[in-house]
Chain A
Amino acid sequence: MPRPSPATLEALRAGEPWALEQFYAEHARQVLGWAIRLGGPRLDPEDIAQDVFAIAFRRIHGFRADSQPSTWLYGITRNVIANARRRAAIRRWVGLDDVPELEERYEAGPDALVDARRRRRVVQEALDTLAPRYREVVVLCDLEGRSAPEAGELLQIPAGTVYSRLHYARKALANALDEQGLGRDELIGALAAGGGR
C-alpha cells in the first residue's frame, strides 16, 4: 500500500473530505479483512472497521510521513479488536449478552445448507480457536499472503518468531477445521462456488 504523499497527508490532517475518501478507499478492504479474520464470529466487522477509521482520522496528526499506513492501521485494528473482545466477554459474563455456547460448537452438518455466510462464520470460528498470537500470523501469512518478514514488521516481532508461530498456528488451525467437519474438500468447494460471497 503506498504511503500518502505529503500533500495528501496534509489534506488528511486538514480533514479534507477527498483525502479522507481516498484514504478510506485505499485501506477499507484491508481493515475490514482484518476485522473479519481477527475479530471472530461474535464481533461485527463493520463496527470494528468503523471504529478503526474513526480513530485513525482522529489521530491522523500522529501519523508519521515515513510510516506505512498499513502498519499504523494494523496497530489500531489490533487494539480496537482487543477492546471489543474484552467488552463482549464482560457483557457475556454479566449476562447482558446471552451467547449460547455449545459443547459441539462446530457442527456444520454433513448436508446442512452451507452457504457463504456460514462458511465465513465457520472459518471465523476455526480462527477464533487460536490464541491471538497464532491467529495473527496465520491471517497475515496464510490468508493474506504476506512474507514472514512483512508480517514480522506489522507485528513488530522477528521473522524467525513468525515462522515458529506459523507452524503451530497451522497445526492448530488444521485441527480446528477437522474438529468442525470443515474439511479440505468443503473449503475447496467454497472456491468452486464462487468464493465467500
Chain B
Amino acid sequence: MSDDWKRRAAELGEATEPTEAEVQRVDARLDADVRQAMRIVTEPTEAEIARVGARLRDARAPRALPWASSLALTAAAAAMAGVGWSARFGPVDLPVGEVATIQAPVSVGLATVIEGQGSARVLQANRASTVVEVVDGELTFEVDPRAWYRSVSVRSGDVEVRVRGTRFSVSDARSVRVEHGHVEVFRGGRQVADLEDGQAWSPPAPPPVVVRKPPPPKMEPPGWRPHTRPKPPVQAVLSPVVSRPEPVPVVATAPRTPPPPKPSAAVAFQTVLSRAEAGRDAGILAADWSIFLGSYPDAPSALRTEARARRLEAWLETLPPEDAVARVAEFLAEEPTHPRRHELAYAQATLLRGDLRDCQSALEPYALAASGGGDLGARAHVFAAVCELHLGRPEAAADELGKARAIGVPEDVERYATRVERKLERPR
C-alpha cells in the first residue's frame, strides 16, 4: 500500500506528500502483521451474527420489523403449546422451566441456537450458568468463547454435555460428536467421556443383546482423571450422530465396572494442580477447583485455602471484572495473611484501574500489593502513581514513583513510570 501511495502521491503532486523516511517509519510501526492482527481482533463472531439475526426475526422486539411473518408462525406454535417467548430487547431468552419450540437462531441463556429446530426447556439461566434440556429435535448451540468461565450444559434424557467451548449440537438421540474443542459427557451424574477434536460418544448397546469386547477402562471418576491435554482450542462443535449416517468412532462408553474409590484430598488436589500446569482453560479450571472444594469439605484447611486462592486466580481471568474484584475482596477479608495476598491484591487493583477505571478504589489494593516489596511492589507503586496522577494528586504520584524507583522499576513498566515523570515535569 505504501508504494501505491507514493506513486499516487507523486502523480497527484500533492503538497502534503510524506517523505520517504516518514512512510518507512509509519510502515514499520503498522506493518501488515499488525494490521492483520487488528483485523482479526475486531472480527465479528458467529455468535454475534446469530444474535443479530435472532433479534431481527423477533417480531415483538422493539427494533425488529421485517421478518415478522416467519417469526409469527414460530410464536404461534409456541403459544399453542402453552408457552410464550420472552421477547424483550436483546437476545431472546426462553422462559425457565417450560418447554418451548425453538427455531434457530435464537439465544438461550448464555448460548445461541444457531441451527436446527426442536423443543427445549431451560432449566437454569443466570449470569453464570445455563442449563438447557433438549426435549426433541436437533439443535446446534454456540457459546461465545468470552463466556468460557460460565457453565453451559445441555441435557437430553440422562445424558448431560458440559461445554465451555464455542459450538455444539445436541439431539434427543443422545449422541455426541466433537469436531473442534473439548466437552465432557456425563450420564446418570457420572462422567462417561471426555471428548476432543474428531471424537464421538454414544451410549452403549443394551447389555444382553450384543456381546462385545468392552472398551479399555480409560475413564476415571468424574472430574479426577489425569489431564495431559493442551489448552482446548477456541471452537468446540458437537454434532449428533443420529442425523449423520456416516460411521462415527465411539471413543468411550459408560463402564459397567463399579466406580473406583474416591481419591484422597491430596491426590485430588494434585490432579487439579497438574491440570492447571498443563494450561487448562481458566474457566474449566475454576470449575475443577469448585468441584474439589465441594467434594472435600473435610480436606486440610491449608489445601482448601490454597484451592480457594487458585480458584480465585482462575476467576480473575474469567469473571466479569466487577465480580472478580468482589471475590478477591471477599477472599482477602477472610484470609488477610494468605501468602499470595500481594499478587491477588495487585490483580484486583489492575482490574479496578484498567477495566473498571476506578483509580480511587485501586489505590488500596495497590498499597497492599506494594507492601510485599520486590518486583511486584515496584509495579504496584508505578501504577499507584498513575492513579494518583489521574486523581489530580501530583505530589502523591511523585511519592509513589519515588518508592518504585527506590526498589527498581521493572523494564516492562518503565514506560508508565516515564510517562508519569514526563507529566509531573510538565506544568499543569
Contacts and interface: CB of A to CB of B under 8 A. Distances in A.
A160 B76 CA distance: 55
Residue among B40, B43, B69 facing the most chain A CB atoms (10 A cut-off): B40
Interface string B1-31: 1001100110110101010001100110111
Contact of B39 (A124, A143, A163): A143
A53 B54 CA distance: 12
B42 A120 contact: yes
Given A143-B42, A159-B8, A197-B43, 12 more contacts: A15-B69, A33-B43, A54-B64, A54-B66, A110-B416, A118-B355, A166-B1, A181-B415, A187-B38, A191-B33, A195-B234, A197-B234
Interface string A23-34: 010001100110
A78 to B, nearest CB: 17
A116 B317 CA distance: 11
Interface string A100-136: 1011100111111101111110011000000000000
B64 A50 contact: yes
Residue among B5, B52, B64, B412 facing the most chain A CB atoms (10 A cut-off): B52
B40 A195 contact: yes
Contact of A117 (B36, B146, B351): B146
Contacts of B51: 46
Interface residues of B, number: 70
Residue among A37, A107, A108, A164 facing the most chain B CB atoms (10 A cut-off): A107
A32 B44 contact: yes
B35 to A, nearest CB: 4
22 contacts: A24-B56, A28-B53, A29-B49, A32-B49, A33-B42, A36-B44, A49-B48, A49-B52, A50-B64, A54-B64, A102-B357, A103-B389, A104-B386, A104-B390, A109-B353, A110-B413, A113-B350, A119-B41, A142-B1, A160-B11, A163-B9, A191-B36
A137 to B, nearest CB: 11
A190 B40 contact: yes
Interface residues of A, number: 68
Contacts of B4: 148, 163
B311 interface: no
Contact of B379 (A100, A111, A116): A111
A97 to B, nearest CB: 14
Interface stretch (A3-11, A68-76, A85-93, A171-179): A171-179
B1 to A, nearest CB: 7
Interface in B49-75: 49, 51-53, 55-56, 63-67, 69-70
Contacts of B359: 102
B132 interface: no
Contacts of A20: 66-67
Interface of B: 1, 4-5, 8-9, 11-12, 14, 16, 18, 22-23, 26-27, 29-31, 33-45, 48-49, 51-53, 55-56, 63-67, 69-70, 144-146, 233-234, 316-317, 347, 350-351, 353-355, 357-359, 379, 383, 386, 389-390, 410, 412-413, 415-416
B69 A45 contact: no
Contacts of A143: 35, 38-39, 42
A173 B38 CA distance: 11
A165 B63 CA distance: 35
A174 B26 contact: yes
Residue among A109, A115, A120 facing the most chain B CB atoms (10 A cut-off): A109
B233 to A, nearest CB: 7
A53 B18 contact: no
A173 B30 contact: yes
Contacts of A196: 40-43
Given A102-B357, A194-B233, A111 B26 contact: no
B33 A188 contact: yes
A188 B34 contact: yes
